[in-house]
Amino acid sequence: MRKLAAGNWKMNGTLADLAELDALALACAEATCDILICPPATLIHPMVARIGGGGISVGGQDCHAAESGAHTGDLAAGQLRDAGADHVIVGHSERRADHGETDAAVAAKAAAAHRAGLRSIICVGETEAQRDAGDTLDVIARQLAGSVPECATADNSVIAYEPVWAIGTGRTPTNDQIAEVHAAMRRALAARFADGAEMRLLYGGSVKPSNAAAIFALPAVDGALVGGASLKAVDFAQIVAALDAA
Ligand code: 13P
């Protein structure tokens, strides 16, 4: 299974930050894992133009479920594809929280991404209250069942486990907690999809150079979805190197 180091720039970055991309491409020229950056939509095409054909893929952070139409401010998966993206994140907890996205809405977005020829990165994760209540595995099972569409395959879908309370906080679950959730996700996907055991599972939430190697050593962790530490090439390159070494 090919490993994937994915960076989510969230609402950060302007054209001036494309220099970070050059630095990343240089630092990761020998990398063997897949590398993806999901910048703000305004930077998708400039990034692809800058590194087109190189070893770094470019993705969107969200897409609409419809192909086109009267949806002011939204972007269709086909438009992301047209701009040069080959992946799109759907169901990030910040979109679920800020925009009220339900599991069904996320599944519809992932299906739209697949129809447009994009690979979806489908995010799930429990809140701190859910973890404290002992509901983590139930929440993840429910989100997987509702957010991963029937058309998902190991080729067109990647699943990212991002505990909400670990995002941008510097806190991470214990290695045992990450391994427990990833094992449960692997089992659930293998039971539902013919090639579900082959779907790549990413961990996300405060991944940084100092903890990446320990996380990548865990079973059923096939890479990471990285926020803050993907903004600086020097940090993200170290995470890529840790994944390559795992
Ligand atoms: P941080 O790496 O900044 O915690 O963000 C994780 C994330 O939300 C990636 O999608």
Look up tokens 């050059």; give the residue: 22
pLDDT for 9 equals: 98
pLDDT for 36 equals: 97
DSSP state of 33: S
Residue of 20, 94, 101, 162 with catalytic role: 162
pLDDT for 54 equals: 78
pLDDT at 21 over 80: yes
Please give the full DSSP string across 170-229, using - where no structure is assigned: S----HHHHHHHHHHHHHHHHHHSTTGGGSEEEEESS--HHHHHHHHTSTT--EEEESGG
DSSP state of 76: B
Q: pLDDT, tens digit, for every residue of 162-208?
A: 999 999 999 999 999 999 999 999 999 999 999 999 999 999 999 99
Reply yes or no on whether 162 is catalytic: yes
Distance CA 240, CA 157 (A): 20
Name the domain count of the chain: 1
Region 20-30 average pLDDT: 93
Torsion over CA: 54, 41, 171, 220 (sign): negative
Domain containing 187 — which CATH number? 3.20.20.70
Q: Which residues are 159's β-sheet partners?
A: 122, 201
* Protein residues with CB under 6 Å of any ligand 1 atom: 8, 92, 162, 167-168, 204-207, 225-229
Neighbours of 103 (CB within 10 A): 18
pLDDT for 234 equals: 97
Span from the CA of 229 to the centroid of ligand 1 (angstroms): 8
Domain range for 171: 4-245
Distance CA 170, CA 157 (A): 27
pLDDT for 52 equals: 76
Distance CA 153, CA 103 (A): 18
Q: pLDDT, tens digit, for every residue of 117-176?
A: 999 999 999 999 999 999 999 999 999 999 999 999 999 999 999 999 999 999 999 999
Q: pLDDT, tens digit, for every residue of 48-105?
A: 999 876 789 999 999 999 999 999 999 999 999 999 999 999 999 999 999 999 999 9
Instruction: Write out the H or E segment, with its range, that includes residue 4.
Output: strand 4-8
pLDDT for 51 equals: 87
